[in-house]
Amino acid sequence: MGKFFSNGLLLKFKIKRTDEIIMDLNSYEEFLDKAYEKVPENVKRSSRFETPKVRLRIESRNTFITNFNKIIFTLNRDKRHFLGIFLKKAGTMGEIRGQQLFLKGQYKDQVLNRLIENYTKTYVLCSICKKPDTQIQREGKKYYLKCTACGAREEIREK
């Protein structure tokens, strides 16, 4: 009889401990949420993808994007794909010369940066999670942006 009684106590004690552990896990998740809320906005923003900016050299009224290779590396897209769209939007001719991109005509950095931002929004960043971990997939005449981070797959609509 005494033995039964002590087992009963032990059982109650164990259940109580489990409840406490579950409560601890919940409050730990709450703690994490609150901790993330307290992360300064600028820190959250810096972990987001940043569209690369051009560095320019003007020579004989033509423009060289001197960090072109780095821009392409950051965007992680095919050079020809990027150039086809970029040159058409800029309305000029251009060609790759070593690490640089030669553009016929004089261009301001704001104008070229805007074109790269637009390209990035349409062909690089996932529209759902905003991450750059994407691939362009072709299906017949349609193109899709497949995100390897969140799994989303959206049809690419040119702007």
CB under 5 A: which stretch of 77-85, 101-109, 114-122, 146-154 binds Zn ion?
146-154
Residue with Cβ nearer Zn ion (101 or 125):
125
- Using alpha carbons, select from 73, 75, 60, 77 the residue that is nearest to residue 99: 73
Task: Copy the structure tokens of residue 55.
Answer: 């560095």
Contact (Cβ atoms closer than 8 angstroms) between residue 126 and residue 150: yes
CB under 5 A: which stretch of 66-74, 86-94, 116-124, 148-156 binds Zn ion?
148-156
Give the one residue of 83, 128, 136, 156 binding Zn ion; rule: CB under 5 A. Answer: 128
- Using alpha carbons, select from 117, 101, 107 the residue that is nearest to residue 52: 117
CB under 5 A: which stretch of 61-69, 92-100, 108-116, 128-136 binds Zn ion?
128-136
Q: Which of residues 102-121 bind Zn ion (CB under 5 A)?
A: none
What angle is formed at CA 9 by the lines to CA 6 and CA 15, rounded to 5 degrees? Answer: 145
Establish if 145 lies at the interface with Zn ion (CB under 5 A): no
Q: Is 140 left (phi over 0), alpha (psi -120 to 50) or beta?
A: left
Residues near Zn ion (CB under 5 A) = 126, 128-129, 147, 149-150, 152
